[in-house]
Amino acid sequence: MLIIPVIDLSRGLVVHAKYGERDTYQPIKSVISASAEPEIVLSSFLELYPFKTIYIADLDAIQKTGSHSELILELASRYKQCEFWIDAGLEAIEDRQYAYSSDNINLVLGSENRLSADLLTAIIKNNPNILLSLDFSEHGLIENRYLLNDPATWPRKVLVMMIHRVGSDQGIDINCLDTVLTLGKDKDVYSAGGIRDMRDLEQLKHIGVKGVLLASALHNGAISKENLHLISDD
């Protein structure tokens, strides 16, 4: 199973994402990183384990209040051994792909963006390496409910982003995850949100999840270097 550390960027710092309440996010406090500076957090992740894939959410770009594209390109250039999955909002895909033009960057399309079926199909057709993030709250898929009716339109890689569990200690929303796994039997499904410890990772691996996105459990030490070596396929 692929383990993917997460960096949530806001105003130049890595923040602790919790429940999707972006206005309340604060700079991370971490047992593995001495600072919330993005470069230090990323280097700390790679000192902990030689991760092959890094997920970055540019929260400012998603909310259209700014952009970390230059920083992201710099990190991608410095760490060419890593593949970077970048969620920088719909504009990054439609209008600003040039800002993320690097061989080791793939963009993420979040379903929290309101999309027509035709626009979704066009985006996926024009971006063969794009990842689809199915963004859930406790009430279900946040936007574009039609996506759950036609998994044939999904790209190969699909993230199950359980926003209502992100940064919490509540565990995985297994019903939400099972729904996507059942619908997307021919897809590579990745889980994000609510992962607490090694037991959660083992459960996810057992049910066939391709990989997991992690932040809190790495920063608080609940998942250790030894755990990563045991569970990861890298």
Q: Where are the domains of the chain?
A: 2-231
Is pLDDT at 20 greater than 70 in this prediction? Answer: no
Name beta bridge partners: 30. Answer: none
Span 44-87, pLDDT tens digits: 999 999 999 999 999 999 989 999 999 999 999 999 999 999 99
Tens of pLDDT, residue by residue over 24-41, are: 678 999 999 999 999 999
Q: Confidence class of residue 144 from pLDDT cuts 50, 70 and 90?
A: confident
Q: How far apart are CA 15 and CA 109, in angstroms?
A: 21
**End-to-end CA separation in angstroms for the chain:** 8
**pTM score, two decimals?**
0.93
**DSSP H/E element including 189:** strand 188-192
Q: What is the CATH number of domain 2-231?
A: 3.20.20.70
For residues 171-183, give the mean pLDDT: 88
- pLDDT value, residue 164: 80
Which whole number is the average pLDDT over 157-185? Answer: 86
Give me the chain's average pLDDT, please: 90
Q: Which amino acid is at 152?
A: A
> What's the pLDDT at 234?
60
DSSP H or E stretch at residue 91: helix 90-94
Q: What's the pLDDT at 189?
A: 97
CB count in 10 Å sphere of residue 180 = 23
pLDDT score, position 159: 96
